[in-house]
Amino acid sequence: MTRRPPILSILIALIGAAFFLVPLIATFNFSLRMKRGELSFAAYRSVFESDTFLSVLSFSAVASLMAIVLGILIVVPTAYWVRLRLPRMRPVIEFLSLMPLIIPPVVLVFGYVRIYGTSSILPLTMTQMGTNILLVIGYVVLSIPYMYRAIDNGMASIDIATLTEAAESLGASRLRTIAVVIFPNVQSAIVSGAFLTFSISMGEFVITSLLNRPAFGPYLVQMGQDFAYQPSALAIMAFVFTWVCMVLMELFATRKPGQRLLPWFVRRTVQKGKL
Amino acid sequence: MPFLLFALLFLILPVLYLVNGAFQTPDGRYSLETMLSLSAPEIASSYLLSIQLSLASAAMGTVFGLVLGYTLLLGGLPGWVRRAFMTFSGVASNFAGVPLAFAFIATLGRLGLVTLVLRDIFGINIYAAGFTLFSFWGLALTYLYFQLPLMVLMITPALEGLRPEWREAAESLGASRKQYLTRVALPLLAPSVLGCFLLLFANAFGTLATIYALTSANFPVVPIVLFQQIRGNVLYNPNLGYALAVGMILIMGLTNTLYFILRRRAERWQK
């Protein structure tokens, strides 16, 4: 086999790298230009100093975390049960878990505001709390394709049947089996799915905006309309945030079931403390 | 099962509600009238625009992503280049929505860095030449930022499935590089490539936030029209909104079904 001189390869890789990096460099450069004639982090400072930023950020963080918890509570028992007892249901559940990729969020939320709107049987959007619940549910739905995939993959790599039998022969109830035996074994998979969910729902715009929630997505759009330099700073922060979430997701997805969540040095200290 | 109940309440019922509404007139009579009114000029042109934009960005993503993916995997580049691109692709394919719009405004907007560099250093004023970021091609280029890396990630397994033996067999039979590519590699990759194209199409078709932030909702693709309709009845017919939504579901459903069929075919060659 002859090796092609990779000049063409290098050229293509360089063009690709330029396409990926130039917008980031341009955005970063732009974000530093708030003060005329000098490069400064003034735009970032201005973002961090605004109360709105902190309030929308915490609102989104809380909503995203709730979505992660709710998602785990729904997906883990389902994936477990389907693998253990209902393999025939598998295609149905898989199809359902992929449906959110087929139904665009704007369509989904349209259905929500009609079904759970003011004049319905379950008027969730009547109260602030109800709307918040609906928002969290929307985030859960958006994340289910990824969450289900991650957790199902995690379950594929452990022997559920044997673990369940062992737990049951020791007298554990079904709930206890899931909570104490299965859950810790798919922990990495869950955390991996959680980071993806987190990165999706933190900046979610469509559902959030149509439910009128004071969250990060609509705030970003508003900033884009009102300011020149702050949006670039926010875009850079969003990119870094996405990067961190993806790296953590990857880290946990490739972790083997036996491994602990904490790095070894933390683990050792904890164990020593216990002993 | 809680999952089934959840899916029923928040996935199936909302869709059924919209489908039901799409086949009714505003006074509650069942008829095809509402669905047929999708062919009204301004609605049909929205669908056309959406489809064109999705096709353009998906086609660019597919072609460039295939070229880049092939180069990274089989182009004889060092391993760290491939790993760097793969990691970056994972991030970039998830970097969409409003921040992406901001990034492109800072790059190719009227005062964007690239626009200014082209104007002041190379003497090319792209805005004077008729380009704007807020036009069809500007949007397609912005979409490419998440479409291209997505294609690289999705086509990688298929490229890895190209066995060196096939290439060696072709070469030992006297095939040139070009012949190997066009007669062996591309036909083998075709189902995967087409499948990825469909997914990219669907991905672009459902995109709303990026376009909303870029154009302040002034670009009438279907998701934007539907968004405005939900905000405040701009179509003067609530049922038309349902029909619009059902139209989107149909297009997304069709695209995804075709994708699954193609993926089955593609898997024949990947063991």
DSSP-assigned letters across all residues of B126-140? TTTTT--TTSHHHHH
Q: Give the per-residue pLDDT at B139.
A: 93
Among B4, B71, B113, the residue with its CB nearest the CB of A13 is B71
**Residue B38 belongs to a domain:** no
Residue-wise pLDDT for B153-165, tens only, equals 999 988 888 888 8
**Based on the structure, what is the number of domains in chain B?**
1
Mean pLDDT (whole number) for B71-81: 87
**Which residue(s) pair with B24 in the sheet?**
B30
Task: Find the residue in B nearest to A221 (Cα).
Answer: B213
Spans of chain A below 50 pLDDT: 1-2, 265-266, 268-270, 273-275
Give A-chain residues touching B149 at CB under 8 angstroms: 20
How high is the pLDDT of residue A261?
53
Examine residue B11 and state whether it is found in any structural domain, yes or no.
no
Assigned domain for B113 exists: yes
C-beta separation of A10 from B74 below 8 A = no
Interface size, chain A vs chain B, as Cβ–Cβ contacts under 8 Å: 224
CB spacing of A203 vs B97 below 8 angstroms: yes
Is residue B98 within 8 A of residue B110, CB to CB? The reply is: no
Tell me the chain B residues in contact with residue A234 when contact means C-beta distances shorter than 8 Å. Answer: 99, 102
Is residue A83 within 8 Å of residue A155, measured between CB atoms?
Answer: yes
- Predicted complex ipTM: 0.87
Looking only at Cα atoms, what is the longest distance across chain B? 72
Q: Which of residues 72-131 of A touch B (CB under 8 A)?
A: 73-75, 77-78, 81, 93, 96, 99-115
pLDDT confidence of residue A21: 94
Does residue B145 belong to any structural domain of this protein? yes
- Name chain B contacts of A74, Cβ cutoff 8 Å: 2-3, 6
**Mean pLDDT, residues B119-126 taken together:** 88
Closest to A83 (Cα-Cα) out of A142, A163, A192, A140: A163
Q: Are A123 and A116 in contact (CB under 8 A)?
A: yes
Nearest Cβ partner for B71 among A9, A111, A234: A9
Q: Please tell me the predicted confidence (pLDDT) of residue A4.
A: 53
| CB-CB under 8 Å, B148 with A26 | no
Nearest Cβ partner for A22 among B11, B107, B226: B107
Query: Measured between CB atoms, does A231 come within 8 Å of chain B?
Result: yes
Residue B152: which domain range?
A: 47-267
B103 lies in some domain: yes
Q: Which residues in chain B have their CB less than 8 angstroms from residue A26's CB?
A: 103, 106-107, 112-114
**Per-residue pLDDT tens digits for B89-101:** 988 988 888 999 9
Over the Cα atoms of chain A, what is R_g? 23
Query: Which domains does chain A show, CATH number per domain?
Result: 21-28+42-260 (1.10.3720.10)
DSSP state letter for A3: P
The answer for A 4-43 residues in CB contact with B (under 8 A) is 4, 6, 8-10, 12-13, 16-17, 19-20, 22-27, 29-31
CATH code of the domain covering residue B206: 1.10.3720.10
Give residue B7's pLDDT: 87
User: What is the rounded end-to-end Cα distance, in angstroms, of chain B?
Assistant: 35
Q: What was the pLDDT predicted at A263?
A: 52
Contact B3 A108 (CB under 8 A): no
The mean pLDDT value of chain B amounts to: 88
Average pLDDT score over residue span B69-76: 88
Contacts of A114 (CB under 8 A, 6+ apart): A120, B14, B17, B18, B21
A274 and chain B: CB distance < 8 Å anywhere? no
Residue B1 within any structural domain of the chain = no
Backbone torsion region of residue B216, taken as left when φ is above 0, otherwise alpha when ψ lies between -120 and 50, otherwise beta: left
Query: How far A175 CA sits from the closest chain B CA (Å)?
Result: 14
CA distance A68 to B82: 32
Do the Cβ atoms of B47 and B245 come closer than 8 Å? no
Of B100, B113, B231, the CB nearest to A26: B113
- Region B46-69 average pLDDT: 95
**DSSP 8-state assignment for residue B24:** B
Answer whether B208 sits within 8 Å of A224, measured CB to CB: no
In this prediction, residues B172-187 reach a mean pLDDT of: 87
Distances (CA, A) of A249 to A5, A101, A255, B90: 36, 20, 10, 10
Residues A27 and B99: beta-carbon distance below 8 Å:
no
Beta bridge partners of B30: B24
| % of chain B surpassing 90 pLDDT | 40
A67 CB within 8 Å of a chain B CB: no
A142: contact with B, CB 8 A cutoff = no
Q: Is A253 on the interface with B (CB under 8 A)?
A: no
Q: Is the dihedral of CA B259, B260, B261, B263 positive or negative?
A: positive
Chain B's closest residue to A231, CA to CA, is B102
Q: What is the pLDDT of residue A204?
A: 92
Q: What is the pLDDT of residue A210?
A: 92
